[in-house]
Amino acid sequence: MSVTAQFDWPPKALSPNARCHWAKKAKAVKGYRKDCHILALMQKLAVDWEGDIHLHMAFSPPDNRRRDDDNMLASCKALRDGLADALEIDDSRFRLHSAVLPSRKGGAVVVALSRGV
């Protein structure tokens, strides 16, 4: 069983390489987490099983600049938290898998959830 959803690309302020004021970053984290929570609810994401949840994150950057996959993952911490909020689960159940896809206008993060083994 697997469920899939698409989320917006994270704000620049969430990049580990961003050099911005802590208050600006905190506002970006709060906003992106809330947006991802709402998007997950709108897409009717749900898991009806116990145990691990394999979280497959596919990143489609908004442009062709080179990016580190670990920075993309770190930028999406608020996405993972918003998703866990929407699913009403502890995010420690997530087992992360990631991939980088070709860029697309505006960027996107596609998430697939599947049952752990």
Tokens of 47: 């898991």
Q: Measured between alpha carbons, how far is 33 from 45 in angstroms, rounded to an integer?
A: 15
Residue 105's domain is classified under what CATH number? Answer: 3.30.1330.70
What amino acid occupies position 114? S
Q: Measured between alpha carbons, how far is 32 from 49 in angstroms, rounded to an integer?
A: 27
- Compute CA 4 distance to the chain's CA centroid, rounded to the nearest angstrom: 12
Number of domains in the chain: 1
Tell me the pTM.
Answer: 0.93
Q: Measured between alpha carbons, how far is 100 from 78 in angstroms, rounded to an integer?
A: 19
Segment 7-42, tens digit of pLDDT? 999 999 999 999 999 999 999 999 999 999 999 999
Question: Is residue 104 scored above 70 in pLDDT?
Answer: yes
Segment 39-96, tens digit of pLDDT? 999 999 999 888 999 999 999 999 999 999 999 999 999 999 999 999 999 999 999 9
The domain of 35 spans 2-115
